């Protein structure tokens, strides 16, 4: 028998006083991160040189100490007047205060047009620092002002205002950009050494990867562009890492796998060590082994393998080594090899010295104090739906929680490491920003956000737990219509994702729910979301439960959620629908086809239909290859279940989707035609994987209208 547990009223129920009007779909979609997003302090940040902070208030940059005392200020008019004469003489027409970045000498950098400028708030002087060259992926070396960037598919550098081309690559080979389709925590492709004498860069050779056609129908005659898209089990990109020596103006490449260019490995998590060597986490294509290797920057030859990490299912390094200041090359490594993320302290030679003993995941690393004695991080614990700030004593490897209020916290560390800016919210609190000391003592409250939805009708939101069939505790969110009629039963919509790296349910403002759900609730729906096994922030066993069987365990957990919904007296068990996007589109389609009759209607956006058609890096981590796991791929291929469809199912796809390619929807539609099964289908021209901007209003209107039509509301 399943157990249903609801959090106490003080934590889980959001009750907003009687409002004047309901939230329109236009307001919900376009106002999500604008007028209905809790206001905070603009551009709040620590100074780099001392424990002062700054923020922008009505075009004035205010600089204050940790007690909130005003130290200095710079107005937009002062910034204009100080604009360097050599850059045109006249004050620029800046319409608002630009974004700034504090430098170690107490000055700040800002961008105007295509150049960087330095402003000194002490004497009011300003100078042009460097031009921003034409290109993309600009990466600045702070100490020298040298700039690395990409132009087309090559790496360039701008040294003392002189451009130099670093690579000269043929079509199909790209350098200086993220590789592996942004997996393994990879977000960029350029990495300066600390002294600025070397530049490391990723390179990928995709000439062996299948060219996938994307057709743009917006021109008078449709045009086609090719996308290199490696599908599961097919040839993937060849990864490489180059190092540019600025003094010699030469490039050498890391000797990985005996310099063979093949697709049997991934190069991930690059980091420059204090001794000038470059470390890289090398992952085999099977993704069950990782080697952390140290390379010589001049020769590219491996110096040593610091350690090896393996797992019978998969390993997934997502953070580079974190080198500890004022140590002899010691570093922290984040791994969930023991079940949950922990910090492992190694010396420069890869000898394990100590580890933490956490039983919850690490969310992100914040930084070290200036003496290298403490490290600060965010973690999903003690509750998996919250994020708290922690300090790690690097001698004892003991951790201490320094945030106190229940909810979701994010931290920003001061120059000395003695203070943190703590931003947090919870289901009842739109947002509070404080300065706390490194031991958790509240020093100053900087800002308290007002409720941006105070004049809108918003129903109750509840956070609760449900037990899966095996007893695993699952977190869920329930949104109810405002002022429910006790004699009435309401239709319900399950919004689903339930895939890796995503958590939908959290103790933050609005419980993490997008505003369109509250519009849907105002239309008379109960809206439900559950994070089942496979989703994020619950540890290795919880996440790996889906290995080689994507969709199977997740469906069982979603059905446990449906069982809870059906137990509620105000939910009509015959009128339940499901909606999701991307992995959620896969889950929506799976539930409609593999569990027929549970849902009356489904709307699947950008759905994966057959994992053989999805990208190599992601799919092979969770499913292995189609050759190694044919039964798992066949079981998850949703075209095999098309004849089981009961109820209405709509597929929605962007016609230039480069993440989940259109072929997925087309394959299911073809199966439906062959089987004589009726499906609904809608395409968003010119949109990739997500439909954004004003067209998103059209999308959500279509989704909601389809749900309303088939759930008879």
Asked whether 688 and 658 are in contact (CB, 8 A), the reply is yes
Alpha helix (H) ranges present in 156-211?
none
Q: Strand locations in 524-570, DSSP E?
A: 526-531
User: How many helices and strands in the chain, by DSSP H and E?
Assistant: 11, 46
Distance between CA atoms of 72 and 205, rounded to whole angstroms?
51
Q: Strand locations in 360-428, DSSP E?
A: 362-368, 374-379, 388-393, 399-401, 408-413, 419-426
| CB-CB neighbours of 15 under 10 Å | 11
Asked whether 180 and 203 are in contact (CB, 8 A), the reply is no
Active site residue 657: yes
DSSP tag of 328: S
DSSP string, 600-641: SEEEEES----GGGSBHHHHHHHH--TTT-HHHHHHH-GGGG
b/e for 447-471, b at 16 or more Cβ within 10 A? Answer: eebebbbeebbbbbbbbbbbbbeee
For the record, the structure tokens of 111 come out as 């961008």
User: Which residue in 582, 589, 590, 665 is the catalytic one?
Assistant: 582
DSSP tag of 583: H
* C-alpha closest to that of 554 among 537, 533, 540, 539: 533
Q: Is 182 left (phi over 0), alpha (psi -120 to 50) or beta?
A: left
The residues with which 46 forms a beta bridge, in sequence order, are: 53
* C-alpha closest to that of 266 among 246, 244, 288, 245: 288
| CB-CB neighbours of 105 under 10 Å | 10
Active site residue 299: no
Handedness of CA 268, 540, 396, 386 (dihedral sign): positive
The secondary structure element, H or E, covering residue 56 is strand 52-56
Active site residue 364: no
User: Which residue in 589, 610, 657, 710 is the catalytic one?
Assistant: 657
Asked whether 312 and 291 are in contact (CB, 8 A), the reply is no
DSSP collapsed to 3 states, 219-250 = CCCCEEEEEECCECCCCCCEEEEEEEECCCCE
User: Around 187, how many Cα atoms within 13 Å sit in the side-chain half-sphere?
Assistant: 5
Distance between CA atoms of 272 and 210, rounded to whole angstroms?
34
Q: How far is CA 171 from its chain centroid?
A: 30
For the record, the structure tokens of 468 come out as 């899966």
Distance between CA atoms of 359 and 382, rounded to whole angstroms?
8
User: Which residue in 101, 138, 501, 689 is the catalytic one?
Assistant: 689
Distance between CA atoms of 90 and 94, rounded to whole angstroms?
12
| Catalytic residue positions, numbered | 582, 657, 689
């Amino acid at each position: 028998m399943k157990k249903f547990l609801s959090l106490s009223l003080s934590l889980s129920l959001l009750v907003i006083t009687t409002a004047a009007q309901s939230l329109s779909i236009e307001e919900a979609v376009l106002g999500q991160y604008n007028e209905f997003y809790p206001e905070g302090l603009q551009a709040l940040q620590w100074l780099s040189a001392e424990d002062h902070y700054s923020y922008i208030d009505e075009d004035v940059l205010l600089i204050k100490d940790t007690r909130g005392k005003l130290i200095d200020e710079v107005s937009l008019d002062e910034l204009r007047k100080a604009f360097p004469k050599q850059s045109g003489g006249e004050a620029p027409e800046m319409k608002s205060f630009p974004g700034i970045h504090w430098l170690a000498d107490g000055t700040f950098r800002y961008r105007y047009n295509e150049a960087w400028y330095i402003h000194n708030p002490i004497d009011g002087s300003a100078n042009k620092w460097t031009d921003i060259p034409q290109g993309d992926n600009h990466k600045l070396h702070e100490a020298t002002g040298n700039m690395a960037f990409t132009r087309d598919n090559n790496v360039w550098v701008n040294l003392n205002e002189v451009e130099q081309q670093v690579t000269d690559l043929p079509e199909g080979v790209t350098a200086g950009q993220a590789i592996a389709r942004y997996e393994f925590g990879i977000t960029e492709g350029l990495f300066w050494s600390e002294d600025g004498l070397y530049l490391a860069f990723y390179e990928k050779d995709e000439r062996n990867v299948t060219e996938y056609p994307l057709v743009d129908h917006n021109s008078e005659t449709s045009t086609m562009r090719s996308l290199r898209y490696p599908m599961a089990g097919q040839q993937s990109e060849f990864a490489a890492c180059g190092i540019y020596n600025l003094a010699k103006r030469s490039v050498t490449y890391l000797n990985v796998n005996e310099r063979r260019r093949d697709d049997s490995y991934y190069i991930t998590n690059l980091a420059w060590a204090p001794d000038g060597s470059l470390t890289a986490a090398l992952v085999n294509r099977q993704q069950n082994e990782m080697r952390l290797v140290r390379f010589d920057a001049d020769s590219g030859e491996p110096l040593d393998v610091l350690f090896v990490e393996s797992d019978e299912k998969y390993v997934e390094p997502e953070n580079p080594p974190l080198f500890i200041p004022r140590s002899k090359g010691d570093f922290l490594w984040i791994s969930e090899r023991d079940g949950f993320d922990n910090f492992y302290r190694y010396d420069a030679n890869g000898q394990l010295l100590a580890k933490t003993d956490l039983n919850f995941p690490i969310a992100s690393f914040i930084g070290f104090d200036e003496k290298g004695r403490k490290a600060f991080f965010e973690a999903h614990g003690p509750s998996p739906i919250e994020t708290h700030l922690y300090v790690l004593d690097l001698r004892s490897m003991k951790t201490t929680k320094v945030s106190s209020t229940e909810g979701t916290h994010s931290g920003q560390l001061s120059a000395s490491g003695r203070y943190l800016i703590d931003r947090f919210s919870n289901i009842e609190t739109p947002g509070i920003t404080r300065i706390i000391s490194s031991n958790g003592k509240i020093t100053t409250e900087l800002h308290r956000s007002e409720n941006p939805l105070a004049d809108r009708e918003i129903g109750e939101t509840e956070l609760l737990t449900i037990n899966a069939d095996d007893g695993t505790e699952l977190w869920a969110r329930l949104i109810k219509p405002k002022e429910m009629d006790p004699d009435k039963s309401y239709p319900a919509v399950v919004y689903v994702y339930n895939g890796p790296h995503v958590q939908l349910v959290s103790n933050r403002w609005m419980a993490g729910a997008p505003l369109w759900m509250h519009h849907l609730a105002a239309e008379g729906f109960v809206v439900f979301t559950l994070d089942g096994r496979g989703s994020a922030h619950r540890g290795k066993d919880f996440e790996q439960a889906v290995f080689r069987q994507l969709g199977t365990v997740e469906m069982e957990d979603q059905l446990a959620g449906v069982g809870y919904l059906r137990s509620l007296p105000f939910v009509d068990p015959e009128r339940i629908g499901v909606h999701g996007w991307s992995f959620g589109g896969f889950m929506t389609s799976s539930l409609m086809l593999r569990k027929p009759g549970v849902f009356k209607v489904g709307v699947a956006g950008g759905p994966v239909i057959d994992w053989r058609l999805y990208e190599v890096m992601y799919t092979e981590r969770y499913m292995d290859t189609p050759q190694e796991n044919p039964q798992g791929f066949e079981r998850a291929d949703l075209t095999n279940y098309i004849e089981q469809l009961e109820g209405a199912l709509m597929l929605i796809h962007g016609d230039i989707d480069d993440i989940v390619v259109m072929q997925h929807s087309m394959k299911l539609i073809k199966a439906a035609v062959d089987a004589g099964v009726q499906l609904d289908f809608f395409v968003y021209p010119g949109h990739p994987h997500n439909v954004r901007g004003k067209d998103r209003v059209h999308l959500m209107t279509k989704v909601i209208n389809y749900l309303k039509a088939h759930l008879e509301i």
